[in-house]
Structure 1
């Protein structure tokens, strides 16, 4: 048995029924107990994006969200969606929606807990995330360490390096004929220039780049959708139909069962928006706020922007242009979809620029996540030397990521993602009463404040 076969077997176990039920089940439970918070409180959550920062922390709430979005808006929005639809058919998009809908409640809960249980490390920086609410909330330090180990694994071998670097390298080679080794060198230097400046420099870059790149990509998608406006409703019908019906082979599409669509849709949904993974809480913990619930609400919007908005745009563009059943895959498939709405050159450039920007910011965000997990594991023993070792290892993996086979990259990424999610989801279930109590207390206080204002009038 070779390494790839072994990894495929492990991946099948990690993303088997237990993990899928744990992911969706936790989100469903929180959705019900929090009374559809992702629906009824979404306008309020969006309004909090513009609230001035107040309270202790390293970043504003918006900067913390942008740092989290820098990690979540990545290749999953372009390559991940294309891969999901290529393997599972259009129905995979429906399961991505489902994972995102319930994932919004999960994202709220984990980021709220991150602020509630955060602390300050020996260097004077805010330290928070699943490691800390598992240890301080559940009292299970061994489980916190397991999460941190898997967190470093995702940063090194999953979302943080290989998948992003390989996507950038392929895009640059296809669009501009840039050799992989050139891309690897330039990208490594650019990542080093930003990440060695710490979380504030990462946040500064994310605040400028994330909103701009996301808006630009969405506008490009809207342009394609308007050109094929008559195909939008049939595309949505196809998504819903194929989510519950096996799709037969067509063109370059090999056919897919409902189980394939469900599994790949949820796995790619988690890869894209990271709800339940435990990554976003690490950034949320650094927010300047005294209200854990408010930061949870702000963080919840990240899943909405990432999957409900951007992944849906990508998926519909792939379906209405018909490229999903063609011979292309990955970034080339998305390029072909944009080319169908204009010229091949424009399609190539739009996807390449978006992919490079998305992937670059994801690398920055995951460098920070991995560093915080690494510091949790080694901080007391290695201190600053440990951080330098982490940074050197991360940059070395960036340099080598362009030369690893695509199929192996996605399988490895999915596997470590699933392993990281499991201890975090266990913690959310274990701390469910804290989540409900904090939420109810906050909104009761808001209602009382509104009543006081009305009486004063």
Structure 2
């Protein structure tokens, strides 16, 4: 597993974590924002009218209403990225990462408008009478690039597991275990059965389910978030100041947080922004292709609302909860994840300014780094290290009160070998105080409001609703990709495999699952961005024709 994870990290270094990727993603958004005249602003009010059904016509081809398509697409985007993803972005890049998530969302509103419009325009009716669409169809039917369409469809199937399936149930299972003590395998088994019952009904049942659950889960989460934000009302303005002040400089060290470079904040903010709202990834167009709409542009306009709701509203609330509560830069008792442990040579303290500067260069992997990974031994007595010459880092912070435990509860006694910063003995549990990240950080932050410790239960409940609905939506995305590649005969085997993967991921290592998602996202995004850029002129002409027809109809009615 370690070898496979390292291979995925190598791929990610050339894809989502590469220096060029954020510029490509944002560049396309900037281009279309200016090219189409800021549609995310000019068409926002119209989008609200369209999604309300004001312009609906009876007898229009499609399987879902505008609202159901929006709800399905939102259920695909509102998931672990809004809860764990925001926390991970702040953990890695500091408050500045939230700023770049906002930028990604604002530009992503236009990108999503373009990809949804083009995908809806070239959708097809399948053998069973349902609609099928997505970037693979405009790549095939309009660009005559079947090879690109095949790449995208294959990437969609992979991403349905790496983005919509595995990370979702993994986070659900881990949070339910942490909050309620439920075994991950039990949680995975029960939800896998419910998942199977929903997705077997296809888009009709999926749309009906998501259109009911999305509003409910949003209300629960928003109320819980506001209870923390207003409890820490004096920290709201300082939180916003930190977000904007550090946007172009990187975040300074504070508390247990050792600081982050601008590049780290920028890259992680954009990367997590994409994981959250999926603008440019090409996933949401698959859901919108099923909508009952004669004009593709009208459905594209509806999709403008997605990044706004997903990132500008929900991710901002999560970010403010984490920043205003102060949970993001404080250390808490936790069980150390092996993948987050790094043992370095020398003794360092984050209470010493010179040490903080040195550690800053190490955790951010700058050219000024002088720290070496530790090779040697750790002598342990009654569970605690007694020799010197090393520092244990966990979650990019200096670990404190570290204990080594065996058999679940007994303090370890003996000598532990460390090679290249990694502990060789595998049957050791390490406990101590360090920073938290991902869903665990959000859980802690939600306990620091009006609801006290009870507030932390909002996160696992919301996460279960968010992530489960995401898994349902992504089953449909993969479903349509399978139809494109193999026809209707491939749907049932895919659904069986999807449910099986969902169950297995409930007790799979978190790091491996998240790393897979990093790679899968970009394998969809790059071909889609390439495709919509090729169709930029057609997009502009299509939008122009829509407004000409819309205004003409309006004059006739008046």
Question: Offset at 1:123?
Answer: 2.1
Any gaps of 5 or more consecutive residues in structure 1?
A: none
Counterpart of 2:483 in structure 1 is 375
Which among 88, 91, 98 is matched to residue 83 of structure 1? 88
Counterpart of 2:391 in structure 1 is none
User: What do the CA deviations read for 1:114-136 (whole angstroms, capped 9, x no partner)?
Assistant: 21111111222111110101111
Indicate the SS of the match to 1:244: coil
Any gaps of 5 or more consecutive residues in structure 2?
A: 331-434
The answer to whether 1:197 aligns with 2:201 is yes
1 CA distance for matches of 2:80 and 2:12? 20
Counterpart of 2:20 in structure 1 is 18
The answer to whether 1:436 aligns with 2:438 is no
Retained in 2: the 8 A contact 1:88–1:264? yes
Retained in 1: the 8 A contact 2:168–2:471? yes
The answer to whether 1:121 aligns with 2:126 is yes
Counterpart of 1:207 in structure 2 is 211
Which among 103, 107, 119 is matched to residue 108 of structure 2? 103
The answer to whether 1:328 aligns with 2:436 is yes
Counterpart of 2:41 in structure 1 is 39
Question: Offset at 1:450?
Answer: 4.2
Residue correspondence of structure 1 range 349-364 to structure 2 within 5 A: 349-364=457-472
Counterpart of 1:307 in structure 2 is 311
Counterpart of 1:94 in structure 2 is 99
1 CA distance for matches of 2:544 and 2:118? 14
Question: Offset at 1:410?
Answer: 1.6
The answer to whether 1:340 aligns with 2:448 is yes
User: What do the CA deviations read for 1:413-444 (whole angstroms, capped 9, x no partner)?
Assistant: 01110111011111110111111001111112
Indicate the SS of the match to 1:251: coil
User: What do the CA deviations read for 1:224-274 (whole angstroms, capped 9, x no partner)?
Assistant: 222222221111110012221232433332321111111111111111101
User: What do the CA deviations read for 1:71-109 (whole angstroms, capped 9, x no partner)?
Assistant: 100010000000110011111101100110000000001
Q: How many residues align?
A: 449
- Structure index of larger Rg: 2
State which drifts further: 287-296 or 17-26: 17-26
2 CA distance for matches of 1:338 and 1:7? 32
Q: TM-score normalised to the size of structure 1?
A: 0.95
Retained in 1: the 8 A contact 2:231–2:450? no
State which drifts further: 45-54 or 97-106: 45-54
Cα 1:405/1:253, change in 2 over 3 Å: farther
Higher RCO, 1 vs 2 (CA within 8 Å, ≥6 residues apart) = 1
Counterpart of 1:154 in structure 2 is 159
2 CA distance for matches of 1:297 and 1:127? 19
Counterpart of 1:61 in structure 2 is 66
State which drifts further: 144-153 or 34-43: 34-43
Question: Offset at 1:344?
Answer: 4.3
Which among 282, 288, 291 is matched to residue 284 of structure 1? 288
State which drifts further: 243-252 or 84-93: 243-252
1 CA distance for matches of 2:509 and 2:73? 27
1 CA distance for matches of 2:541 and 2:41? 20
Retained in 1: the 8 A contact 2:227–2:451? no
Q: CA RMSD in A?
A: 1.4
Cα 1:402/1:251, change in 2 over 3 Å: farther
Which of the two has greater strand per residue? 2
Which among 484, 490, 500 is matched to residue 396 of structure 1? 500
Counterpart of 1:51 in structure 2 is 53
Retained in 1: the 8 A contact 2:102–2:311? yes
State which drifts further: 118-127 or 164-173: 118-127
2 CA distance for matches of 1:98 and 1:171? 29
Retained in 1: the 8 A contact 2:224–2:455? no
Indicate the SS of the match to 1:138: coil
2 CA distance for matches of 1:276 and 1:6? 25
Q: TM-score normalised to the size of structure 2?
A: 0.78
2 CA distance for matches of 1:189 and 1:66? 22
Indicate the SS of the match to 1:47: helix
Counterpart of 1:174 in structure 2 is 178
Which of the two has greater helix per residue? 1
Retained in 2: the 8 A contact 1:336–1:344? no
Counterpart of 2:271 in structure 1 is 267
Question: Offset at 1:452?
Answer: 4.9
Retained in 2: the 8 A contact 1:94–1:243? yes
State which drifts further: 322-331 or 169-178: 322-331
1 CA distance for matches of 2:155 and 2:460? 30
The answer to whether 1:8 aligns with 2:9 is yes
User: What do the CA deviations read for 1:160-198 (whole angstroms, capped 9, x no partner)?
Assistant: 211101110011101110011111110110101111111
